[in-house]
Amino acid sequence: MTDLDRLEKNLLQQIEAADSEEALESVRVQALGKKGQVSVQMKSLGKMSPEERKQKGPLLNGLKARIGEAIGARKEQLERAALEARLANERADITLPIRPLPKGKIHPITQVAEEVAVIFADMGFEIREGPDMEDDFHNFTALNFPPDHPARELHDTFFLERQEGADPMVLRTHTSPVQIRTMMSEKPPLRVIIPGRTFRCDSDQTHTPMFHQVEGLVIDKQTHMGHLKGTLNAFIEAFFEVDGVETRLRPHFFPFTEPSAEMDVRYSRVGNELRIGQGDSWMEILGCGMVHPNVLKNCGLDPDEYQGFAFGMGIDRLAMLKYGIPDLRDMFAADARWLEHYGFDALDQPNLATGLSR
């Protein structure tokens, strides 16, 4: 074995034995650094005779290359081992709350609108929206309100200043005009809910000039009143998060539905608390019915081919009932303390899997 072979064997052993990146680095300096054992040999080439250099040169170059490679390979091994050790030891706790804790709450109306959307989305409904400023045609005429009929007055309508030659405009008094917009622009089968702002000239503990409704519309060929009741019962159970809610349909009148009904839900009052679902009293909760044939015709649908149901309810009222909010006007008072009390955590998105509200 030559001196060079011995040197190589020795260095390779040291490389193999290096058990940290620092230890390996010191072996590298010892071998390939300026004064390293291999470098010193390389320098000696200068002092050799041409023949000797011819013979030793390739040997030394080979040695240098092999040692360099062995160090590189060992380095990679050590780095991988270090990474694996870190991965095994370190934990990122992604359950930690954000600090400082987020400020601001979700308004109960937004919360309830989202809860309603989640429940109906689960039943296959899509969301549609329409403009706050409506023309007389969509808000009344197409919905089968006869011209100059007192029902138009019943809505305490805000009329907008009349423009020459244009259809009179109103702030929409209900979300029902979006039924018309949907039926005129889309083909059945339709299954939509329509949340949004509505406006009536009225103000007391349970009325504000601006409030919120959600409308439902289902149009298909054989949709009937049983589907209406089943859908609304399923909604009410999911929304109030109670099983076995008892409801009844009580005959009523709306120009755009025939037959029309109001849905009442059983409830009881225990102390200060309303218990929705069971009890001796009935509470009106929404309006509904089968879409009137005239409304279908006004939207270009053949009432001999299509039929369906519609319903409408107040989002704010649902929020007051579910979350025990006594005065509707507080909802719009922009009082931060009120929102702190009645608001919802922005990170808790309502969903049916983990619960609608917390």
Q: How far apart are CA 259 and CA 280, in angstroms?
A: 27
Residue nearest to ligand DAH (CB): 312
Binding residue for ligand DAH, selected from 254, 267, 306, 344, defined by CB under 6 A: 254
Binding residue for ligand DAH, selected from 211, 311, 342, 344, defined by CB under 6 A: 311
Question: What totals of helices (H) and strands (E) does the chain contain, helices first?
Answer: 12, 10
Does 247 contact ligand DAH by CB under 6 A?
no
Cβ contacts of residue 138 below 8 Å, gap of 6+?
130, 172, 177, 180, 181
Smallest separation, CB 99 to ligand DAH (Å): 45
| Element holding 195 (H helix, E strand) | strand 190-199
Binding residue for ligand DAH, selected from 108, 130, 277, 287, defined by CB under 6 A: 287
Cα–chain center distance at 98: 19
Binding residue for ligand DAH, selected from 108, 188, 195, 312, defined by CB under 6 A: 312
Q: What is the CB-side half-sphere exposure of residue 336 using CA atoms within 13 A? A: 2
For the record, the structure tokens of 338 come out as: 């009120």
Instruction: Tell me the sheet residues that pair with 148.
Output: none
- Considering only residues 87-116, where is the footprint of ligand DAH by CB under 6 A? none
Binding residue for ligand DAH, selected from 115, 136, 215, 316, defined by CB under 6 A: 215
**Residue closer to ligand DAH, measured from CB, 232 or 339:** 232
**Residue closer to ligand DAH, measured from CB, 215 or 316:** 215
- Considering only residues 291-310, where is the footprint of ligand DAH by CB under 6 A? 310
CA distances from 37 to 12, 58, 172 (A): 13, 17, 91
| Binding-residue total with ligand DAH (CB under 6 A) | 11
Burial of 42-53, coded b for 16+ CB within 10 Å and e otherwise, reads beeeeeeeeeee
**Residue closer to ligand DAH, measured from CB, 219 or 331:** 219
Binding residue for ligand DAH, selected from 208, 257, 298, 307, defined by CB under 6 A: 257
Smallest separation, CB 313 to ligand DAH (Å): 7
Smallest separation, CB 174 to ligand DAH (Å): 3
- Considering only residues 163-182, where is the footprint of ligand DAH by CB under 6 A? 174, 176
Smallest separation, CB 173 to ligand DAH (Å): 7
Cβ contacts of residue 134 below 8 Å, gap of 6+?
169, 170, 171, 172, 177
Q: Is 323 helix (H, G, I), strand (E, B) or coil?
A: helix
- Tell me 48's DSSP state: S
Q: How far apart are CA 237 and CA 242, in angstroms?
A: 5
**Residue closer to ligand DAH, measured from CB, 64 or 174:** 174
Smallest separation, CB 344 to ligand DAH (Å): 26
Interacting residues toward ligand DAH by CB under 6 A: 174, 176, 215, 254, 257, 287-289, 310-312
